């Protein structure tokens, strides 16, 4: 029985510029944390090896400290690691990998092949046919070499590559770094471990994308896993188990609000969010002032309880109801200004400014007529 973990797309050093500084720092830190969890899982399950299918680093320019921290995070598992370069960290002449070697921080149990070839792991009865990328983009199938690579008799043959399986990935047209969909069969592979697609995806029974172990974008394609793979003997069908290891859950909500009950329902959903949630919220529709303020309170409360929240209320139009207009004394000058601002919300270029001005006008007028307000 050969038993290993398949993971990919760690993207160490990734930046999250769309978030607040504190949130971005925590999301970046989570990428180191999940590597430590993978190492602990490998030790706990006593696997024969851990295979990392490219994009270990997000850029070639990660700091020396990040390189050292990455290898330090792997120390819980003392067995063999095999990791290859992907398109983000291609094995160029001067690369993040050459820096790691110069720093002397790569442990002896970590194999980093910089050219296509076979990494033989006799204790695991496994031969890893590795195809690291040596440039960011190529239109040649680097796994074609697997067809002619030989391995020692009795070894389970496992391919390790980074790229796009032709015609099998969503949103993938004329992709670079192509991989033939039948490569496992052509190269007599018992399993083909792939990276590049950030979701967990089975191409066929022997060909899998592990996906990124820590979700990093608003796409519901089953990220946040590693794959536990067991192969009884050469030629046997692999048994693949998805193991959840990610911490944060990224969601994107697009909501239409027109009634107070719509806002109440949305507020209830946001109240159920927890510290592991990262939410992008796009709200559209039209509401009165009371509903808009209630919704804003719900957004503010959610922002305090989730890891990160990116709200966009620019598509939410304020339409004063009779009570709002009564507060504005709609028959006077203030009412005329309110009517103009309300109309301006229909102009895309002016909608955001007009909506904010109308909300401020309503709030100011409400406060000026409140009992005890200054005369």
Q: Nearest Cα to 352, choosing from 313, 297, 295, 310?
A: 313
Beta bridge partners of 287: 318
**CA distance linking residue 216 with residue 131, whole number of Å:** 25
For residue 256, how many other CB atoms are within 10 A of its CB?
Answer: 13
Structural contact between residues 163 and 177, judged by C-beta atoms closer than 8 angstroms? yes
Per-residue burial over 83-118, b if 16 or more Cβ lie within 10 Å, else e, is: bbbbbbbbbbeebbbebbeeeebbeeebbbbbebeb
**CA distance linking residue 127 with residue 122, whole number of Å:** 8
Q: Nearest Cα to 8, choosing from 52, 48, 43, 71?
A: 52
Please state the domain extents for the chain.
2-244, 249-369
* Local mean pLDDT, 10-residue blocks, the chain (375 residues): 98 96 97 98 98 98 98 98 97 96 97 98 97 94 97 97 89 77 98 96 97 94 96 98 97 94 95 97 90 92 97 85 64 69 76 75 61 47
The position carrying tokens 């959840």 is 244
**CA distance linking residue 250 with residue 221, whole number of Å:** 11
For residue 335, how many other CB atoms are within 10 A of its CB?
Answer: 16
CA distances for 201 relative to 40, 117, 222, angstroms: 24, 25, 8
Question: What pTM was estimated for this model as a whole?
Answer: 0.87
Measured in residues, the chain has a length of 375
**CA distance linking residue 205 with residue 207, whole number of Å:** 6
pLDDT at residue 166 in the model: 83
DSSP structural state of residue 103:
H
Pick the CATH number of 2-244 from 3.60.21.10, 3.40.50.300, 3.20.20.70, 3.30.70.3420: 3.60.21.10
The string of DSSP codes covering 241-298 is EEEE----EEEEEEEEE-SHHHHHHHHHHHHT--TTEEEEEEEEEEE-HHHHHHHHHH
pLDDT at residue 367 in the model: 57
For residue 46, how many other CB atoms are within 10 A of its CB?
Answer: 9
């Amino acid at each position: 029985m050969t038993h290993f973990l398949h993971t990919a797309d760690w993207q160490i050093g990734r930046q999250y510029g769309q978030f607040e500084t504190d949130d971005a720092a925590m999301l970046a830190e989570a990428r180191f944390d999940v590597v430590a969890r993978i190492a602990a899982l490998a030790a706990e399950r006593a696997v024969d090896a851990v295979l990392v299918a490219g994009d270990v680093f997000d850029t070639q320019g990660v700091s020396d400290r990040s390189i050292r921290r990455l290898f330090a995070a792997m120390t819980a598992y003392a067995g063999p690691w095999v990791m290859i370069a992907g398109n983000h960290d291609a094995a160029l002449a001067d690369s993040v990998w050459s820096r790691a070697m110069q720093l002397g921080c790569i442990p002896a149990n970590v194999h980093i092949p910089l050219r296509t070839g076979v990494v033989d792991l006799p204790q695991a009865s496994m031969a890893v046919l590795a195809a690291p990328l040596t440039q960011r983009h190529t239109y040649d199938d680097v796994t074609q070499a697997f067809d002619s690579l030989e391995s020692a008799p009795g070894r389970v043959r496992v391919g390790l590559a980074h790229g796009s399986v032709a015609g099998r990935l969503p949103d993938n047209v004329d992709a670079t770094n192509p991989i033939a969909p039948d490569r496992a069969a052509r190269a007599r592979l018992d399993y083909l471990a792939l990276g590049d697609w950030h979701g967990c995806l089975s191409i066929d029974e022997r060909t899998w994308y592990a996906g990124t172990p820590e979700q990093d974008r608003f796409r519901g394609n089953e990220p946040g896993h590693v794959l536990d793979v067991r192969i009884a003997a050469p030629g046997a069908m692999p048994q693949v188990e998805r193991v959840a290891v990610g911490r944060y859950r990224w969601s994107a909500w697009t909501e239409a609000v027109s009634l107070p009950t719509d806002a109440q329902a949305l507020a209830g959903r946001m109240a159920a969010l927890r510290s592991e949630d990262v939410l992008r919220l796009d709200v559209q529709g039209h509401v009165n002032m009371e509903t808009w303020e209630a919704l804003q309170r719900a957004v503010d409360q959610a922002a305090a309880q989730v890891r990160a929240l990116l709200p966009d209320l620019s598509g939410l139009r304020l339409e004063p109801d009779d009570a709002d207009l009564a507060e504005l004394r709609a028959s006077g000058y203030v009412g005329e200004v309110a009517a103009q601002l309300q109309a301006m919300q229909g102009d895309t270029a002016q909608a955001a400014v007009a909506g904010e001005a109308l909300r401020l006008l309503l709030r100011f007028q409400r406060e000026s007529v409140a009992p005890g307000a200054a005369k």
